[in-house]
Amino acid sequence: MKKNHMDKDVYILAIESSCDETAAAVVKNGRQVLSNVISSQIELHTLYGGVVPEIASRKHIEKINQVIETALVQADMSLEQMDAVAVTYGPGLVGALLVGVAEAKAIAYGAGKPLVGVHHIEGHVSANFIEHPDLEPPFVCLIVSGGHTHLVVVKDYGEFEILGRTRDDAAGEAFDKVARAVGLGYPGGPKIDKAAKEGNPSAISFPRAKVDENPYDFSFSGLKSAVLNYINHAKMAGEEIYVPDLAASFQKAVVDVLVSHTVEAAKEFGFQKVAMAGGVASNSGLRKGMEEACKREGLSLYYPSPIYCTDNAAMIGAAAYYEYINGARAGWDLNAVPNLKLGER
């Protein structure tokens, strides 16, 4: 395991506010979660069928102090005992990110603690370290969330090589759009997952997109259109749609592509370890499909518990630890970077 040369335990207060969860956590030595508080705004945004950025920012402002306070209380620690304050500074919604960044700067400055800026996607990947003490880079990681779909090699802590990415919709976005089209509501991922359990995945044949130039890139817009066309045709013909079959067939089309790209990459580049991260990594069909494929190919598979797959601050604390022990410190001019790229600082 990567050594902490400081010879003492490192406690990090981590803050996450990039989308619709206001979250704070206290993490010890990057892998031990002492508290993980999440205030979700999902119910509020459900009314509008998706996240409304302005509402998200306002809610973060209302909740953030309370969430941080609770994280410290639950960890039974004080701000003075923290070694650093970490915060997600991108990518995400600019107004939402700004709330966390401003708060983290104020707290760190006031308490005389170092500040660490964390890349949200690096946080998702690092969620895997929390429950898998044996997991260390290098490994291949499939990152599938509401805003991102990346296939990467995690070369070292905080060091990534991107093998593929989505050309259009993110995997979670496709789940959300299809769910909305069949009236399942927001967020669609968990609802499709649930409906799919009752359905037949081979009931409807949906396309598995191949992207010619890069075998590891993804594209979900064709699949989404195929689902919307199917729904329209059924409506025009006056036929009833059996949602579980549609959900299962759609989910299988997404899962097949995610699994085949990931396993192919691990084989081609010679990695024995495969990990998954992001909200969609909690999809039961994806977990099952990836488990079967990895078993067949003799690969070890890692993924976080659902609570660490969707947005949380514990994953930010895990990522921040490795940044911190490598000497990364943010200045007081740290700003939100809504389109921060993976591998950029």
Binding site for ligand KG4 (CB under 6 A): 19, 145-147, 172, 175-176, 187-190, 193, 278-280, 282-283, 310-311
Question: Among residue numbers 137 through 166, which ones bind Zn ion (CB under 5 A)?
Answer: 145
Residue 280 binds which entry of ligand KG4, Zn ion, none, with Cβ cut-offs from 5 to 8 Å by kind? ligand KG4
Residue 187 binds which entry of Zn ion, ligand KG4, none, with Cβ cut-offs from 5 to 8 Å by kind? ligand KG4
Give me 88's structure tokens. Answer: 């997600």
**H, E, C per residue of 93-106:** CHHHHHHHHHHHHH
Residues 15/68, Cβ–Cβ less than 8 Å: yes
Least separation in angstroms between CB 78 and ligand KG4: 30
Give the type of residue at 153. V
Residue 126 binds which entry of ligand KG4, Zn ion, none, with Cβ cut-offs from 5 to 8 Å by kind? none
Residue 97-136 contact track with Zn ion, rule CB under 5 A, x = bound: ----------------------------------------
CB 220: neighbour CB atoms within 10 A?
Answer: 25
Least separation in angstroms between CB 109 and Zn ion: 27
Say how many residues make up the chain.
345
Question: Among residue numbers 265 through 324, which ones bind Zn ion (CB under 5 A)?
Answer: 311
Least separation in angstroms between CB 278 and ligand KG4: 4
C-alpha 147/C-alpha 169 separation (Å) is 8
Angle, nearest 10°, between helix axes 188-196 and 171-181?
A: 70
Confirm or reject binding of residue 249 to Zn ion (CB under 5 A). Answer: no
Give the type of residue at 159. E
Give 77 or 228: the residue with its C-beta nearer to ligand KG4: 228
Instruction: Give me the sheet containing 84-90, strands edge to edge.
Output: 32-40, 21-28, 11-16, 84-90, 115-119
Least separation in angstroms between CB 15 and Zn ion: 14
Strand pairing report for 84-90 and 32-40: unpaired
Which residues of this chain interact with Zn ion, rule CB under 5 A?
145, 311
